Amino acid sequence: MERLATTPFGGGRLTSRVLARQAKIGQRQEQLKRGEAGNASGRADKWQLLRALTEARQVYGLGDRTICLLEALVSFTIERELDGSQPIIVFPSNRELSFRARGMAPATIRRHLVSLVDAGMIFRRDSANGKRFCRRDDAGLVEDAYGFDLAPLALRAEEIYSAAEAARAEAKLARAFRGEITVLLRDASRIITLALEEGRVGDWDAFLVAYQMNARDASRRKHSNDLQSIANELRAFRTQVENAYLSSLSDEEMSGNDDDFEHHQQNSNTELTLEYTALEKKIAETSDAKPGEEDRKLAISLSKLKALCPLINDYARDGISGWNDVIQTADLVRTMLGISPDAWSKAKAVMGHQAAAVTVAVMLEHAETIRSPGGYLRTLTAKAEAGKFSVYPMLLALEKPTARKSE
């Protein structure tokens, strides 16, 4: 099979980059045939190669749908091993390609094919009329074939494997930094919350604002270098918060034993202790119900909530697939917003677990403009207790800007 098209059919645009790639691939194939390619074999297990490319897809600018289409194209090859020393041309019909690409629409297929060509994973080998087919000789062997050439994918196997290994290392490092950041944020949040509840001397409102900014930055940064920088800043921030709290302690508190200190804490916050005791009693009365069962069910779908409040999904450990995930993630988010356990417990008791979680999700979207999330949630809880609060206007306020963007 020597007659291979190098230009696309019809109005398809030929670029210098594609032409240069074709020439380079041709040279490598000649080297492989002559045994001059060194240790490179030009061969790769197609499924292992696709898995590696999936891990390294961001390096090549490929989305999951583009990988899905490439997987469909690869499935038309007979052998498990791709041999890039010669053209690997598949020629599926549009209908069959759509089936194997999970029902992908023709227009979508064309868009992702362009992405694969631009990324240098495949070549187009178009016939004179743009149809995909093959001609066979008298012995039944393929003489000419027109469609998509997968040889570039096979010849880039070593590069793709290396990129996948680097992507795994990056993901491992990023997870480690995210874990450390979570602990640092939790420590800072609880110290600030304790200081505010005890009325300690110090600029704790400024610490709270700084904490919220750090938490927001941590949720948006993805690369390990960025996360490492945030972790370094948070270490210094936590030390600063700890020192500020310790500096606010009296000599008696610093020198007293643990029993004296605990006794002082209980006496200095009588109102909070009584309120929490009453709340514990109320929760105990409904302890037979699972989280969320006592709630008035909100007339909003989970997908709608995720669309209106996308930031909360960044804090979910394993993604959000149900309302229990929303409630558990909101419990984590409220610590990052500086909301005390008492304020959070009372909000759940008054609003219901589901409504309270949605309220926190909405507050996370407006974190930059809410000066004191803990005080704000207490105000909303008081209004809900008086029957003057509903979470729907908050959701509606988020929905209107979203609707205008889609227009």
Length of the chain equals 407
pLDDT for residue 219 is more than 60? yes
235 and 110 within one domain: no
403 and 317 within one domain: yes
240 and 275 within one domain: no
Residue 119: inside a domain = yes
* Interval 146-200: pLDDT, tens: 889 999 999 999 999 999 999 999 989 988 998 899 899 988 888 988 888 888 8
The Cα angle at residue 280 between residues 276 and 285, in degrees rounded to 5? 150
Range of lowest pLDDT (28-37, 88-97, 141-150, 308-317): 28-37
Most confident of 1-15, 246-260, 365-379: 365-379
Chosen domain end from 191, 218, 251: 251
User: In the chain, pLDDT over 70 holds for what percent of residues?
Assistant: 78
Between CA 366 and CA 234 the distance in angstroms is: 22
Range of lowest pLDDT (18-27, 100-109, 356-365, 373-382): 18-27
237 and 356 within one domain: no
User: Could you count the other beta carbons within 10 Å of the beta carbon of residue 169?
Assistant: 11
Q: Coil, strand, or helix at residue 11? A: coil
Q: What pLDDT was estimated at residue 277?
A: 32
Between CA 45 and CA 48 the distance in angstroms is: 5
Task: Provide mean pLDDT across the span 320-332.
Answer: 90
Between CA 280 and CA 336 the distance in angstroms is: 23
Chosen domain end from 113, 129, 155: 155
Residue 258: inside a domain = no
402 and 286 within one domain: yes
What does DSSP assign to residue 363?
Answer: H
133 and 65 within one domain: yes
398 and 276 within one domain: yes
pLDDT for residue 30 is more than 60? yes
Q: What is the CATH number of the domain that holds 26?
A: 1.10.10
pLDDT for residue 398 is more than 90? no
Residue 265: inside a domain = no
231 and 131 within one domain: no
Tokens of 287: 């302890």
Chosen domain end from 251, 285, 303: 251
Residue 337: inside a domain = yes
Residue 89: inside a domain = yes
pLDDT for residue 263 is more than 50? no
Residue 264: inside a domain = no
Q: CB-based burial of residue 277 (10 Å sphere; 0-12 exposed, 13-18 middle, 19+ buried)?
A: exposed
20 and 141 within one domain: yes
Residue 199: inside a domain = yes
* Interval 289-311: pLDDT, tens: 333 333 455 667 888 888 888 88
* DSSP per-residue codes, 164-225: HHHHHHHHHHHHHHHHHHHHHHHHHHHHHHHHHHHT-SS-HHHHHHHHHHHHHHHHH--SHH
60 and 26 within one domain: yes
* Interval 65-121: pLDDT, tens: 999 999 999 999 989 999 988 888 898 988 999 999 989 999 999 999 989 988 889
How many domains does the chain divide into? 3
What is the domain extent for residue 223? 170-251
280 and 403 within one domain: yes
The residues near 253 (Cβ < 8 Å, ≥ 6 apart) are 261, 264
195 and 120 within one domain: no
The H or E element spanning position 90 is strand 89-90
Q: What pLDDT was estimated at residue 144?
A: 75
